[in-house]
Amino acid sequence: MDRSFSLLALLSLLVGIGLGSLHSGSAATTTTGTPDGSELWGYVEVRPKAHLFWWYYKSPQRTSTPTKPWPTVLWLQGGPGASGVGLGNFQEIGPLDVNLQPRNSTWLQKADLIFVCRYSVTGQPGGRRVQLRGEQQPAGDDRLEQAADMTTVLKALVKEVPMLQSSPLLLVAESYGGKYAATLGVSVARAVRAGKLNITLGGVALGDSFISPEDFTLNAFRMVRLSYTPLFLSVSRLDDNAADEANKMAETVKEQIAVGNFSDAADSWNDLVVYFIPSRSGVVDMYNFLLDDGMDLLSADTPAGSSPNNVQALRYSTYLGSRDSNGSNTIGGIMNGVIKEKLKIIPKDLKWHELNHAVYNALDNDMMKPRIDEVDELLSYGVNVTVYNGQLDIICSTIGAETWVQKLKWDGLKTFLSLPRQSLYCGPRKETKAFVRSYKNLHFYWILGAGHFVPVDQPCIALSMIGNITQ
């Protein structure tokens, strides 16, 4: 299919659906919270019988003036289908950790936080849509429905969380969530520009995000062929023989993407990262090449009949669980126990899972599609776009991120690429923790010593970065 045509069609559809849902009056909501109003949560019915759950935290440090409004971060988890309400909140940036102890690096110090479970609920086998209370929705383009659904949620949230109207909203994403953030960012920016949504889009931040799968898998960076293979070769995790084979597999992925065979590209990519590379690398950790894959929980968690794709999804969603602290709590334990009790409105028969497989499968065809054009559109509107990437990540490597950034059509790109980087430090010692380069509304953070899960691996510099980009 001709790409520019299909994208145009997609984008007009996006606006159609996005604005259509905004015109269609108020979404049904259920909202409750703590008595002091510091936390609110609820469901928004985004389409008939399809509900999204959200959880808002007001920062104890909140100060707001008309010239310096307090920001809000909307966290978008990866997967696709992983639960931000559980994982991002309790394992990465929220006020409490899995043992319900305060997290001293919580991003709540710099912004109010919102977590959303897109489809955190049990799906119907074979059904493309997944919702809270059963009934199946017609199949559609999930990527567009996601953006439209989330725009509906934001519209409802502006009513339910009054602070949001005067608070710049920053979409911050991890992994696959970055593709979602780019699409949602465009949808929100358009709704705001059309006067349909009264919020300030403070920026979009893409952490170790799968914006251009092709560029992470195989690319030509500065005339040198780079991909997963040479990265692993250069750190001794693959040998030459395995590298040749891996390169062939990467070529296949690239060819399938080139002809728009996205679902097959996803399968080939999975063959490479789930089976081949682990088998020849001493089971390297794709999220941090200094480590072995420590997914002890994986085998226990893998449902019978899981496809290879599901295996990769499980790796993402259970990764932090396998590294939980030594306390007795597990993320599944608290989400289905004390947290469910606290939230009160979760239906009894609903069980929380790290990742919703039906969502993951529904987005199978989207997995390998790029989102570079959406980032370009955001840049053209003057929206602040931040790309941040962990040095030790392989699955969404820094070199891959640099490569897709170089493909932007944005007119500031040439100047951006020519500028020197600034070193960043954190903590008492003057030790380089990151580099940043900024020009106009594009910002790139190289986070040293972090793998895929930047706020977990380098909490100090991640917090300081979020302070910089929300100011």
Ligand X SMILES: *[C@@H]1O[C@H](CO)[C@@H](O)[C@H](O)[C@H]1NC(C)=O
Binding site for ligand X (CB under 6 A): 104, 165-166, 198, 202-203, 256, 259, 261, 264, 325-326, 382, 384, 441, 469, 471
CB of 251 to ligand X, least distance (A): 12
Q: Which is nearer to ligand X, 118 or 155 (CB)?
A: 155
Q: Which is nearer to ligand X, 53 or 56 (CB)?
A: 56
- Residue 175 among the catalytic residues: yes
Is residue 389 within 8 A of residue 396, CB to CB? The reply is yes
CB of 175 to ligand X, least distance (A): 23
Q: What angle do CA 84, 86, 91 make, to 5 degrees?
A: 95
CB of 388 to ligand X, least distance (A): 14
Spell out a b/e string for 40-75, using b for 16 or more CB atoms within 10 Å of the CB, else e: bbbbbbbbeebbbbbbbbbbeeeeeeeeebbbbbbb
Q: Which is nearer to ligand X, 30 or 165 (CB)?
A: 165
- Residue 376 among the catalytic residues: no
Encoded tokens for 275: 């089976």
Encoded tokens for 3: 């790409």
- Residue 353 among the catalytic residues: no
Encoded tokens for 147: 């953006």
What distance separates the 2 farthest-apart alpha carbons in the chain? 63
Measured in degrees and rounded to the nearest 5, phi and psi for residue 46 equal: -85, -30
Burial of 302 (0-12, 13-18, 19+ CB in 10 A): middle
CB of 256 to ligand X, least distance (A): 6
CB of 347 to ligand X, least distance (A): 34
Is residue 62 within 8 A of residue 53, CB to CB? The reply is no
User: How do strand 39-47 and strand 442-447 relate by DSSP bridges?
Assistant: unpaired
Catalytic residue among 167, 393, 457, 464: 393
Q: Where are the beta strands (DSSP E) in 58-168?
A: 72-76, 112-117
CA atoms within 13 A on the CB side of 439: 12
Q: Where are the beta strands (DSSP E) in 264-396?
A: 385-390
Q: Which is nearer to ligand X, 30 or 471 (CB)?
A: 471
Q: Which is nearer to ligand X, 251 or 264 (CB)?
A: 264
Q: Could you give the C-alpha distances from 153 to 54, 114, 175, 190, in angstroms and in order?
A: 8, 11, 22, 16
Is 29 in a helix, a strand, or coil?
strand
Catalytic residue among 105, 175, 212, 281: 175
CB of 68 to ligand X, least distance (A): 11
Q: Which is nearer to ligand X, 173 or 385 (CB)?
A: 385
Q: Which is nearer to ligand X, 165 or 234 (CB)?
A: 165
- Residue written as tokens 């200094």? 290
CB of 449 to ligand X, least distance (A): 14
CA atoms within 13 A on the CB side of 24: 16
Active-site positions read: 175, 393, 452
